[in-house]
Amino acid sequence: MTRQEYMQQKRSEAWRDELRKSVKAKERGERPRVHMPELDPEIRSHELKMEVNQGLTEEQAVFEAGRCLDCANPTCVTGCPVEINIPTFIKNIERGNYLEAARTLKETSALPAVCGRVCPQEKQCESKCIYIQKMGKEPVAIGYLERFAADYERLSGQISVPEIPNRNGIKIAVVGSGPAGLSFAGDMVKRGYDITVFEALHEIGGVLKYGIPEFRLPNDIVDVEIDVLRKLGVKFEKNCIVGKTISYEDLHTAGFKGIFVGSGAGLPNFMGIPGENLIGIMSSNEYLTRVNLMDASNPESDTPVQLGKKVAVVGGGNTAMDAVRTARRLGAERAVIVYRRSEEEMPARVEEVKHAKEEGVDFLTLHNPLRYEGDEQGHVSRMLLQKMELGEPDASGRRKPVPIEGATEWMDVDEVIVSVGVSPNPLIPSAFSGLEVTKWGTIVINESTMKTDLPDVYAGGDIVRGGATVILAMGDGRRAAASMDEALRGKE
Ligand SMILES: Cc1cc2nc3c(=O)[nH]c(=O)nc-3n(C[C@H](O)[C@H](O)[C@H](O)COP(=O)(O)OP(=O)(O)OC[C@H]3O[C@@H](n4cnc5c(N)ncnc54)[C@H](O)[C@@H]3O)c2cc1C
C-alpha cells in the first residue's frame, strides 16, 4: 500500500470507527506520549524566523489522541482558564474529525493556534491529566493536539467563522489588542455587540507580536486568528493610544457603553544597580520589541540593535529565554542566562529551557549581578556577580536566594539584557480618573466580575495581574465579557 492510499484509508469513516473501537483502555494507557518534531538545533540557532517546533504529523496526533481515557470527570478542563472542552476536541482528532476538533476549540478560545504553541500546559490542563495525577505517567499532550487541530484547519483553508445571532448595535471599546483584549472581543462580538479594539502600536496582538519571537510563534499564525475576529465584525484601530490620542470622555462621547482595559504590563523593571545605564545594557522588552517589530537585527534599519558577541541575559522567565535565544540567533558566541535562584525555581516553560540549552545557551544559576563596568567609550565590558545559595521558601513558595558572603566573580560581557519582570503601564490608571490601583500599579477589580471602580470599565490580563500568561489573560477577557454582558442586559 502506498503512503497516499494508506492516508486515504485512514481518513475513511470506517477506519476511524475501527480505530476507536479497537483501542482498549489498557492499550491507551500503555502508549508512550509522542515527541514533538523539532528543527535541528544546529540549524535553528542561526535562524530568527524558523519555527522550532514543527507540529505533530497526522499519525502522531491520532495516536496521541488515542491515549486520552475520556475520563468521566475530565479534570483537565478545570485546569484550563478558558475551559476548552478538551475531551471532545481530542476525541474528534482520534476519529479524524480535525475540523470539528478546531471548531470545539474555537467555542471557548479565540487563539487556539497561539495557545497550542505558548501556553504553559504543564502547569495547567496537562498538570490535571489523570495519567499524571493517579498513574505516575506522562500526561496526554493536550497542547500539541490543540496546535495540531488549529494548524490543520488553517492549512486546509476551511477556517470556520462562528455564526453570530443578532447584532444589538451596542458599542463596546477595548483598550489593547493582546490576548486579554482579543479574547474579550471574541466573546462579546459573538454575543452581538459592536466591538472596536484600540491599539497603541502599529501591530495587533500585544506581546504575541512584539514580545514572543517568531521562532516560537510565527506572526502569520497570530494574524490568521486575528482575521477570524475581523470576519466576525471586530474593528481594530491601530496607532491609537487611549489616554493620549483619545480620552475616556471621548469614548463616552463616541457612544461606547462599556470599556474593557487589557493594556498589559509593558513597563520593564531594572535592578537599580551601579552601571545599569552603560551603553549595551537594555531591557528585554526593548530588545525584543526592536528585533520583532522594528527589524532592528538588520544593521541597515533605522534603529539597529547591537549584535553582541558575549551576551548575558539576567532573569529566568519566558522573556529571558526569548531574549537569550534571540541573541544566540543574532550571532552571540556566548549567550548566558544569569539567574539568582536554581533551575528548579525558574518560571520559564520547561520546553523553553530545554530548547535554549540545545541551542548552546549557557546557564549560570545562583548568581546575581552586583554592578557593571564599562570601557572608555562608556560601553559595558564586564559585570560583577554575587554567588547565591538557596534559603527558606519565600512568599512565592520558591526557596529564597541568599548571597554567599564574600563570594563574587567577574564576567566579561559586551551586551546585557535585563529581564527581571515588568510593571503595568501607568497611562490608563492615570487617564481614567477614579480607577483604583494597587501599590504595584495594577488595576483593582472585583475578581468574579472583573469590574473596576468605574461602573462601565472592566479590566483583565497583565494590567490586573502583573506579568502573567497568555491563557490567564484570555480567561480574564472571557470572564469580563460574561459579566459586562449581564450588566448591560440588566441581569447582574
Ligand atoms: C517576551 C515574552 C514572552 C512571553 N512568553 C510567554 C509564553 O510562552 N507563554 C505565556 O503564556 N505567556 C508568555 N508571556 C506572557 C504573556 O505574553 C502575557 O501575560 C500576555 O500577553 C498578557 O496579555 P495582555 O492582553 O494582558 O497584555 P499584552 O499582551 O501586553 O497586550 C497589551 C496591549 O495593549 C496595548 N496598550 C497598552 N496601553 C495602551 C493604551 N493606552 N491604548 C491602546 N493600547 C494600549 C499594548 O500596546 C499591547 O499591545 C510572555 C511575555 C513576554 C514579554
Residue 403: pLDDT band with limits 50, 70, 90: very high
Whether residue 464 contacts residue 443, with contact meaning beta carbons closer than 8 Å, is answered with yes
The rounded distance, in Å, linking the Cα atoms of 320 and 485 is: 38
CA 364 vs. chain centroid, Å, equals 25
pLDDT at 7 over 70: no
Query: What is the distance in A from the centroid of ligand 1 to the CA of 102?
Result: 24
State the first-to-last Cα distance of the chain, in angstroms, to the nearest integer: 61
Of all protein residues, the one whose alpha carbon is nearest to atom 33 of ligand 1 is 176
Least confident piece of the model among 15-24, 279-288, 380-389, 424-433:
15-24
Domain boundaries, the chain: 11-156, 171-266+424-491, 270-420
pLDDT digits (tens, 9 = 90+) for 147-195: 999 999 999 998 888 888 789 999 999 999 999 999 999 999 999 999 9
Query: What is the distance in A from the centroid of ligand 1 to the CA of 275?
Result: 29
pLDDT digits (tens, 9 = 90+) for 90-105: 999 999 999 999 999 9
Mean pLDDT for the chain overall: 93
- 11-156 and 171-266+424-491 agree in CATH topology: no
Q: Which residues contact 328 (CB under 8 A, 6 or more apart)?
A: 45, 335, 356, 359, 360, 361
Query: What is the distance in A from the centroid of ligand 1 to the CA of 97?
Result: 33
Q: Answer whether 475 contacts ligand 1 (Cβ < 6 A).
A: no
Q: Answer whether 264 contacts ligand 1 (Cβ < 6 A).
A: yes
Does domain 270-420 correspond to CATH entry 3.90.870.10? no
Collapsing DSSP to helix, strand or coil, 434 comes out as coil
pLDDT at 6 over 50: no
Q: Answer whether 319 contacts ligand 1 (Cβ < 6 A).
A: yes
55 secondary structure, DSSP code: -
Which CATH number describes the domain made up of 171-266+424-491? 3.50.50.60
Q: State mean pLDDT over 5-13.
A: 49
Query: What is the distance in A from the centroid of ligand 1 to the CA of 163?
Result: 28
**Ligand 1: which of 263, 286, 450 to mutate, judged by most atoms within 8 Å of the beta carbon?**
263
Q: Which atom of ligand 1 has the smallest separation from the CA of 352? A: 8
Query: What is the distance in A from the centroid of ligand 1 to the CA of 129?
Result: 28
Query: What is the distance in A from the centroid of ligand 1 to the CA of 264?
Result: 5
Per-residue model confidence (pLDDT) at position 1 = 44
Query: What is the distance in A from the centroid of ligand 1 to the CA of 461?
Result: 8
The H-or-E segment that residue 369 falls in is strand 367-374
Of all protein residues, the one whose alpha carbon is nearest to atom 14 of ligand 1 is 469
Q: Answer whether 263 contacts ligand 1 (Cβ < 6 A).
A: yes
Mark out the alpha helices in 417-469 (DSSP H runs).
Answer: 427-431, 462-465
Of all protein residues, the one whose alpha carbon is nearest to atom 27 of ligand 1 is 264
Of all protein residues, the one whose alpha carbon is nearest to atom 21 of ligand 1 is 207
Of all protein residues, the one whose alpha carbon is nearest to atom 39 of ligand 1 is 263
Closest by alpha carbon to 263, among 37, 457, 113? 457
The rounded distance, in Å, linking the Cα atoms of 364 and 321 is: 13
Q: State mean pLDDT over 431-441.
A: 93
Of all protein residues, the one whose alpha carbon is nearest to atom 30 of ligand 1 is 264
The rounded distance, in Å, linking the Cα atoms of 140 and 31 is: 10
Does domain 11-156 correspond to CATH entry 1.10.1060.10? yes
Query: What is the distance in A from the centroid of ligand 1 to the CA of 207?
Result: 4
The rounded distance, in Å, linking the Cα atoms of 97 and 118 is: 24
